[in-house]
Structure 1
Amino acid sequence: MFFTYIFGYFFSLVIIVIVRKHFLLCLLVLEYLLLYSFFCIIIYMGFFVYDSYFLVVYLVFGVCDGVIGLSLLVFLIRSSSGDYLDSLSLC
């Protein structure tokens, strides 16, 4: 069972390396990482009977991460008319 968790986590890291040029797909993979680690934390806390207030704080930070990512995506599309990271000029 532990192998399944490790495989899912590393699979998402491989996917983020593959789609690193497309901003929206990178955001989707980051949200997958957030949800996957959330489910792993739920199982861990359920196994050891910990208090689950940490999960609410974790989800709040996850939502803030998603909002910041989407606002950066909107800014990127408005400024460069595309969401590919190769079209940016950082200088």
Structure 2
Amino acid sequence: MVFSGLVIVVSGLFLFGVWRKHLLISLLSLEFMVLGVLFLFYGSFLNFGFLFSLVYLTFTACEGALGLSILVSMARTHGGDYFSSFHLF
């Protein structure tokens, strides 16, 4: 369980580094890493696994909703989810 979580986190980091042009792909790779971290923690904390999983998944759902709201507002204001169309200055 711990090894599979580590593989998921490393592959999510790789995907985040390679495909960073689109915000949606970046958010999906971040959610993939969150799933890997959940596997890592669930394998480590077997005594508090269920309670920790519920709290962690609650915060993960809030983080996913925030990311999707940022994606929608960026698509409305800039016409897409490309990072190249988003200028900070």
Normalising to structure 2: TM-score of the pair?
Answer: 0.86
Q: Which residue of 2 aligns with 1:19?
A: 19
Query: Is the contact between residue 45 and residue 52 of structure 1 (CA under 8 Å) also seen in structure 2?
Result: no
Q: Which residue of 2 aligns with 1:43?
A: 43
In the alignment, structure 2 segments of 5+ residues that lack a partner are none
| 1:5 positional shift | 3.6
- Structure whose alpha-carbon radius of gyration is higher: 1
In the TM superposition, structure 1's runs of 4+ consecutive aligned residues that sit over 6 Å from their partners are none
Identity of aligned residues (%): 35
Cα distance in 2, alignment partners of residues 39 and 21 from structure 1? 28
Cα distance in 1, alignment partners of residues 52 and 31 from structure 2? 18
Instruction: Give the total of aligned pairs.
Output: 89
In the alignment, structure 1 segments of 5+ residues that lack a partner are none
Query: Is the contact between residue 74 and residue 80 of structure 2 (CA under 8 Å) also seen in structure 1?
Result: yes
